Amino acid sequence: MESDKNQKNIVLFVTNLKKYFPITSGFRNKGVVKAVDGVTFWVREGETLGIVGETGCGKTTLGRTILRLIDPTDGEIYYDVPSDEMENIIKLETELQEKKERDGENKNDTEVETLLKELIPLRKKYSLSNKSNKEIIQKRKIMQPVFQDPFSSLDPRKLVKDIIAEPMKLLTDMSNEEIEKRTADLLSEIGLNEDHMYRFPHEFSGGQRQRIGLARAISIEPKLLVLDEPTSALDVSVQAQILNILKDVQERRGITYLFISHHLSVIRMMSDRVAVMYLGKIVELAETDRLFTDMLHPYTKALLSAIPVPDPKTKVQRVVLEGEIPSPSDPPKGCHFHPRCPVALPVCGWSPRDMSGPLQTMFDQFRNPELSILPEVNEIVVDEDGNSIEIKFVSAVKSSDEMVNIINKVIEKEQSLPNGVKFRSIKEIIPAPTGDGFTIKLIDPKVPHLREIRPGHFASCLLYDAPEGNTQPEFADVGKQAAYSR
């Protein structure tokens, strides 16, 4: 964590933030949607942090949780804390997290204990996550949202004058004249004029409504703006106007932006640093140009290579991912991206449910004729918790050892195939005592954590977790195949 002097101090620090939504159908609830699943990052004053990801990656929920429009399930949000306190908090919190992650099982309580003792009072004082509505209202003065859909972010029954004035009326003790004067100035700042005050929202175009929403947000001089897809619903020419205004406002007022979007081109233009999210976790966070040219995480590579480029001469060397984004209510084990990852390792999180399909095809006698001498497969039982798969034959086998040899040979063959990495996650084959089948035990998957691989460049991928003994990460070259290094 470089904290050299010339850097501005940190305005917002979010650690291990989680937001789970219960799924309720009828009376009993069936599990939980892990919209935000342990996110840690910080933002410096006047900086724009871009948050990018596809649908269902949790970026909007993250924005709404930070704004405390919804209550977080776990984790802390430190905002507008005196800089020295903040330094101390960040040190303690990151130390605590590293302790928890490293020795997950044999947690030596003493160390964690001391850290917690120090942190609890700080959390009570500064962290927004478990504050009551009244206390949070003070912080609302200095953080405001800007939303995506221009047509649902303004109250159709209210005049523009009252819409812009609402935050001032509720959060400041300005007199009505002051408020009216300030509203007029704000309107001219965003390119509308005073008469627009006495109009209803339905009398404006999409672009003009976004400007009114922005005027409302900056009316009380906030230090942080959370912009959730501010220009996604707009046409290109109108989007350019809004983005320019956002830049002017930031230059003039030094406001920090949390810029959430799924348009990577807009993100690259607006953000100083970018965080890429996938299924509720940050998979990579880095300075903008570094991320676009020198990305580390395989998902970032695939995501950036999928963007069409407005120049017919650039031929993009595309990494096309198969399959669809899994549902956040039941994410894959270990690294959430492992089922679709082109460079996955055996340890990345392969679990029995990933294996049942491939095992089925393995027993196809066209594919592996040598297996046809074994009896026909009756049933494949997946045991997620036990991390094992049991395969039952129709009848018993002559000799278990012979069966194990044949299967091991076939598995080696499968492992050599292009996406045979799944089979390399098989630890051992245990023949069933009754001889009519066998159980496959898989190696226990590891969970990747956001690590600072290079200064200021974080990634959460087991490729860089310096697997036992192998110092040079196998896939370090993913950065070099920069898609755009022309």
Partner 1 sequence: MDANVFAAKGGEKKRNPGLDNFITTMKLFVKTRIAFVGMIITLIYFLIALLDAVYPQYLGVTNLSSMLAFLHGQSVSASAQPIAPTTVGGWYYWLGTTEYNIPIFPSILASLKYDLGSSLLIVALGAATGVIIGTIAGYFGGLLDEIVMRITDIFFSIPFLVFAIAMAVILSRVLPSGSSIDVIIALTIIWWPIYARLSRGNALTIKSLKFVEAATASGSSRMRNVFVHVMPNVLSAVFVQFSLDLGSIVQIFAGLDFIGFHIGGVFFPELGNLLNIGQPYLAQPYLNLTTGQVLSSTIWWPIVIPGIFLLIFTVAINLMGDGLRDVLDPKLRR
Partner 2 sequence: MLVEDKLVENEEAVYLRVENLSTKFFTSKGIVKAIDNLSFEIRKGEIFGLVGESGCGKSVTALSVMDLIQDPPGRITHGKIYIDNFNIIGDLDRLAKIDVRSETDVRIKRNKRMIKRHNEILSKIRGDKIAMIFQEPFLAMNPVMRIGEQISESILLHNRIDIANSIIRRENIDRGKSDSFIEYLETIKGTERALKEINVWTREYGVPDAELKIIELSRSALSINEKKEKMYELLLAEKRGVNLQAVFEEREYFKDREKLLELNMEMTGYEEKNDEVNARRVGEEIKELRRGMTGRNISFLLKQKLMKKQYERPFLQEARRRTLELLKLVNIAGAERVIDSYPHEMSGGMLQRAMIAMALASNPKMLIADEPTTALDVTTQAQILELIKNLNTVTDSAVLFITHDLAVIAEMCQRVGVMYAGNLVESAPVEIIFSNMKHPYTIGLMASVPRADKKRDKAMKLESIPGAVPNLISPPTGCRFHPRCKFKMDICSEKKPKLVEIEKDHKVACFLYSNEVEEN
Asked whether the beta carbons of 146 and 213 are under 8 A apart, the reply is: yes
Which of 121, 156, 323, 469 binds partner 1 (CB under 8 A)? It is: 156
Residue 309 binding: pick among partner 2, partner 1, none (C-beta 5-8 Å cut-off by kind): partner 2
What is the 8-class DSSP label of residue 381?
A: E
Q: Which does 269 bind (CB under 5 to 8 A by kind): partner 1, partner 2, none?
A: partner 2
User: Please, which residue, 69 or 316, has the CB nearer to partner 1?
Assistant: 69
In the list partner 1, partner 2, none, the entry touching 310 (Cβ below 5 to 8 angstroms by class) is partner 2
Q: Residue 27: helix, strand or coil by DSSP?
A: coil
Smallest distance, partner 2 to C-beta of residue 278, A: 11
The pattern of x and - marking residues 179 through 218 that bind partner 2 according to CB under 8 A reads --------------------------x-xx----------
CA distance 297 to 284: 6
Distance in angstroms (rounded) separating the CA atoms of residues 93 and 119: 8
- CA atoms within 13 A of residue 92's CA, in its CB half-sphere: 20
Q: Which does 303 bind (CB under 5 to 8 A by kind): partner 2, partner 1, none?
A: partner 2
Are 253 and 222 in contact, with CB atoms under 8 Å apart?
A: no
What binding mask, one character per residue, do residues 263-292 give for partner 2 by CB under 8 A, x or -?
xxxxxxxxxx---------------xx--x
Q: Is 159 in the site for partner 2 (CB under 8 A)?
A: no
Q: Which is nearer to partner 2, 146 or 411 (CB)?
A: 146
- Residues 204, 192 contacting (CB under 8 angstroms): no
**Contact call for residue 80 and partner 1 (CB under 8 A):** no
Among partner 2, partner 1, none, what does residue 347 contact (CB within 5–8 Å per kind)? none
Contacts of 255 (CB under 8 A, 6+ apart): 46, 218, 222, 223, 224, 225, 249
Exposure string of 262-295, with b = 16+ CB inside 10 Å and e = fewer, is bebebbbebbebbbbbbbbbbbbbbebebbbebb
Backbone angles phi, psi at 436, to 5 degrees: -100, 40
- Residue 241 near partner 2 by CB under 8 A: yes
Minimal CA–CA distance to 463: which of 346, 345, 335?
345
- Among partner 1, partner 2, none, what binds residue 154 when CB lies within 5 to 8 Å by partner kind? partner 1
Q: Contacts with partner 2: how many residues (CB under 8 A)?
A: 49
Choices 73-81, 306-314, 375-383, 399-407 (CB under 8 A): range interacting with partner 2 = 306-314
Assign 3-class secondary structure to 94-120: HHHHHHHHHCCCCCCHHHHHHHHHHHH
Instruction: Verify binding: residue 464, partner 1, rule CB under 8 A.
Output: no
Q: Which of residues 170-209 bind partner 1 (CB under 8 A)?
A: 170-171, 193, 195-196, 198-200, 202-205, 208
Alpha helices by DSSP H, 190-326: 206-218, 236-253, 264-270, 288-293, 298-305
Strands (E), 264-347: 273-278, 281-287
Q: If binding is defined by CB under 8 A, does position 258 make contact with partner 2? A: no
Diameter over CA atoms, the chain: 94
Contact 450, 456 (CB under 8 A): no
> For the chain, what's the residue count?
486
Q: How far is the CB of 25 from partner 2 (least distance, A)?
A: 15
- Upper half-sphere CA count for residue 261 (Cβ side, 13 Å): 26
The distance of closest approach from Cβ of residue 281 to partner 1 in the complex, given in angstroms and rounded to an integer, is 25
**The binder of partner 1 chosen from 18, 44, 64, 392 (CB under 8 A):** 64
Residues 215-234 that bind partner 1 (CB under 8 A): 216
Contacts to partner 2 by CB under 8 A: 54-55, 205, 207-208, 235-241, 243-244, 247, 262-272, 288-289, 292, 302-314, 318, 320-321, 323-325, 484
Contacts to partner 1 by CB under 8 A: 64, 67, 69, 133, 137, 140-141, 143-145, 147-149, 152-157, 159, 163, 166-167, 170-171, 193, 195-196, 198-200, 202-205, 208, 213, 216
